[in-house]
Structure 1
Amino acid sequence: MSYKFATENINYEDYSSGRVLYNQHGTTSFPVRLTSEIFQRCTNILKQDGNLGPYSIYDPCCGGAYLLTTIGYLFGEDILKIYGSDVDTTVLELAKKNLSLLTEEGLKNRAEQIRQMISEYGKESHNEALQSSLKLMNTIKHMSHRININCFTSDATKPNNINKIDPIDIVITDLPYGKIVDWIGSSNEDEAIFNLLDNMLTKLSNNAVVAIVSRKKISINHPKYKRVDHFKIGKRQIILLRPLL
């Protein structure tokens, strides 16, 4: 796959999981360049319909919210609201900590934690993390508005479990798969994906875009959505859908 939008292979080390962004055992990160490509493909479709933003974005399987947090840093000017939900209450605490880094308060707290680690351990990696936190703070301070962030526990495969959100312009989610993460509360993966798409319908704006990331062999189909884009990179496939009006 050739990138259409994230054409420059930029150094994204400031966004590395565990550097400034928090991580914990059992959670996954997501390629930042691919995140940028997906978001820009979504916004390009919306802009063609006259929706110039700022946008509301939602990840119903957010895990530690690594994907959402990096989007917030990369495209904060284009984002009005960020919603993240997950059925796992433990991992959601990590998500809240990461999304707090999109605020000056949260980032100041993180920088102080890093300074304490420098004082205790004196590792060069901690000095590098501090420098990254200062760069991210500069990004936050230059945003023209503060992003409205809402992070909550929810099984998005179950009916009426995502009532806390306003109409969404963009959904981007990396579906659970593999040995690290899996669907919770569902033994049928195809059914879980179908229900996820079904339950989101009432929460999408009229011209919303839904980007689903999954392993290549998974079939993503729903009679109330149309596919508008599809590409593959590595072991992943990315499918962009729009609700049928």
Structure 2
Amino acid sequence: MDLFYDHIGMSYNFEKYDNTAVDTQNTPYDYGSVMHYGPTAFSKNGLNTIEPLQSGVVIGQRQTLSEIDIQEVRLFYGCSAAGSTLPPTGVSPTIQTYSTQLTTFSRTFTRPRGSGRYYYVALRFTVSTSGVYTFQSTSAIDTYGCLYSSFNPFTPNENLMLSDDDGAGDQQFKLTVSLRSRQIVILVVTTHTPRTIGAVKITISSASGTSFDIKRISDATTTTKL
């Protein structure tokens, strides 16, 4: 992988570990792992932080466990069962929805990788328990999502953790990130095309059954402390 440190906002997420700290179960490098960072992971300016050296591969998918993911889990736990699915853990996922509306009265900014002015809604997300969270949009309009450690609409490329356009398919964004207990992040809901209005439903979920709180922000400038 190529790393672009000038674009990385949280460099500790890219620290390297040798085989004394990481057990790969002697499996090959897995570009398709559900845990693999996407191209703009922890970017501070919306540009790529990581790119595959091998051409034609996709990184950052959050749809399902890869075959190597499943193989590593089975090897680690000594499971000999066949098949490509894992048994349920017995933990019910936490799912919460939030409905909002982008209108001509909504605030505007120039989103990362965008040109022009885009209506947006900013949502403050507070984590009660550490876990992996997914933010996904459902809408009749083409949405775009950005996740920030802190957000200032006048400098929208700063403190950008993740952004996505069509990760959920059907022109909807999907952001998956590991968050710590008591961490606060800002989800900015906007659109692919400037000056687009419409209703958007956000689904926030965590497979580990963790809890969270989400509130709309009306301030022009928003900062958070971790």
Instruction: Bin the TM-score by the shorter chain.
Output: under 0.3
Q: Which has the higher contact order (CA 8 A, sep 6+)?
A: 2
Instruction: State the TM-score, normalized to the length of structure 1.
Output: 0.24
TM-score (norm 2): 0.25
